[in-house]
Amino acid sequence: MSPPKFMILEDEPSCLKSIEATLKAKFPNSTIHTEDNPYSIYLATFRRPDILIVDYQFQYPITKCKDIIEKLFRFKGLVIIYSGLDSDFIKRDFLDNYNIIPKNFRILSKEEPKVLLSEICEYISKRDNGISNPAHK
């Protein structure tokens, strides 16, 4: 199947480079776009990534930015909210602010990079095996 296309929204340069290097090592033929601004989510319309990896907290939690969240909620691929903050805290924040965590969202800790790769590999495997909406669990 076609190599995956990633878009990473992360404002910490060292973290951005680490995620990008991890993805390039595991998926050498993939396309990876990196941005350091959460409003770059609007570029997803043109770049059409399969997987968005989004830092939860830039200068503020993304759940406080309704326009960014609305764009994320419309994305049909896999959305990984990747943060150094506690995953349960982020889930509660999503539920408090929006009453939903969409089925295609995964909220993961930066402390567990193997889980990031596991979620991506599972998504790609389902996609390549013809499962519709492979991000929905």
Q: What is the pLDDT of residue 61?
A: 83
Q: Taking the CA of residue 53 as centre, how many other CA atoms within 13 Å lie in the half-sphere pointing to its CB?
A: 31
Say if residues 88 and 47 touch (Cβ distance below 8 Å): no
Top-level CATH class of 5-128?
alpha beta
At residue 7, does pLDDT exceed 90?
yes
At residue 137, does pLDDT exceed 80?
no
Domain-by-domain residue ranges, the chain?
Answer: 5-128
Whole-model pTM?
Answer: 0.93
Q: What is the pLDDT of residue 58?
A: 83
Tell me the per-residue pLDDT of 58-80, one tens digit each, with 9 for 90 and over.
877 888 888 888 899 999 999 99
Calculate the alpha carbon distances from 113 to 98, 109, 133 in Å: 27, 8, 24
Tell me the per-residue pLDDT of 90-127, one tens digit each, with 9 for 90 and over.
999 999 999 999 999 999 988 888 899 999 999 999 99
Q: What is the pLDDT of residue 67?
A: 87
Tell me the per-residue pLDDT of 24-46, one tens digit each, with 9 for 90 and over.
999 999 999 999 988 888 888 78
